Amino acid sequence: MSRKFPILLYHRVGPRDGSYMDAYTVSPEAFRAQMEQLHRERWHPISIASALAGGDLPRRAVAITFDDGFASNREHAWPVLERFGFPADTFIVTGRLAQSNLWDRAEDAIWPLLSEEELASADNELMTFHSHTATHTQLTSIINDERALRKELDRSANDLSDTIPNWGSGFAYPFGTWNWRIRDKIQSFGYSWACSCLEGLNSARTNPFLLRRVSIDEADVGIRLRLKLITGRTLLKWPPERPAEISLAKAWLSKELAKHAIGIGRSRTRNGTADGVGRDLDSQPTG
């Protein structure tokens, strides 16, 4: 892999209704405009597995991903991807097929998810599906429970491999939450790579279990989308985001200094922790 490439992060493509879910929803019109821009500006969408396979990437390579597996994507996103021949990777909450986003508040869990039949009907040449755990739990909360981890990681990796022909071996961290132990667990359960929500571009030097993604929003067309494609980061935002690496490095340094009883003060990370937990600063709560 000689070139750097961005990975775009979507959740739901469908009508927006003014609810909290609008923050994670791109309208069909905006999504179509974004895909038309990729085509017009000669970007080359490829699957993540292809990007990591080695060899030279095409010029302007980009990967398209969807978290959670919302059912509306089948109606509003898949036809557009098929029109342009764009492949995409979707991360599925395997224990919630044909249900809804039950990981959110009960009153908000009304957004239908894809069924097993809908997954099986997808275009095998373009759509690849991967695990997003079984129930969308925060893995850092069950790191010491081997049985719970096996349910979330092992079963979700294999339950659909026999029935979904285009089932892949990738993973995406629910809520964008991870730490170094979780990263190692993902690898030990046989996954080939994992997507985070850390922003930036990917290259041969990127840890394959901490692939970087940039979230795509409703307003990302024209120069906004172009900047995200080129940099892999959200630049047009105020106040600007502090890169996640800074908080992770500070948490690690604080732990190392604490081992030697050197006090520099407890500097909390943006998500309120100082224990080395790497909750991606740009992650989506519903992710």
pLDDT at 216: 98
pLDDT at 156: 83
pLDDT at 247: 60
Q: How many CB atoms lie within 10 A of CB 241?
A: 14
* Residue 199 within any structural domain of the chain: yes
What is the tens place of the pLDDT at every residue in 120-166? 999 999 999 999 999 999 999 999 999 999 999 987 888 788 889 99
Residue-range definition of the domain harbouring residue 32: 7-236
With bands split at pLDDT 50, 70 and 90, how would you rate the model's confidence at 273? very low
* Residue 275 within any structural domain of the chain: no
Higher pLDDT, 277 or 26: 26
Higher pLDDT, 31 or 2: 31
Q: Is the pLDDT of residue 20 over 60?
A: yes
* Residue 218 within any structural domain of the chain: yes
Q: Is the pLDDT of residue 52 over 90?
A: yes
Q: Is the pLDDT of residue 267 over 50?
A: no
Q: Is the pLDDT of residue 229 over 80?
A: yes
Q: Which of 209, 216, 203, 204 is closest to 189 using CA atoms? A: 209
- Beta-strand runs (E) in the chain: 7-10, 12-13, 25-26, 44-45, 61-68, 88-92, 127-131, 167-171, 177-178, 214-215, 278-279
Q: Is the pLDDT of residue 73 over 70?
A: yes
Q: Please state which of the ranges 156-165, 211-220, 222-231, 273-282 shows the lowest mean pLDDT.
A: 273-282
* Residue 1 within any structural domain of the chain: no
* Residue 258 within any structural domain of the chain: no
* Residue 42 within any structural domain of the chain: yes
* Residue 45 within any structural domain of the chain: yes
The CATH number assigned to the domain holding 40 equals 3.20.20.370
- Residues facing 131 on adjacent strands: 92, 171
* Residue 217 within any structural domain of the chain: yes
Q: Please state which of the ranges 60-64, 96-100, 114-118, 270-274 shows the lowest mean pLDDT.
A: 270-274
How far apart, in whole angstroms, are the C-alpha atoms of residue 263 and residue 25? 44
Report how many domains make up the chain. Answer: 1
The answer to whether 142 touches 149, Cβ cutoff 8 Å, is: yes
Segment 25-30 shows an average pLDDT of 98
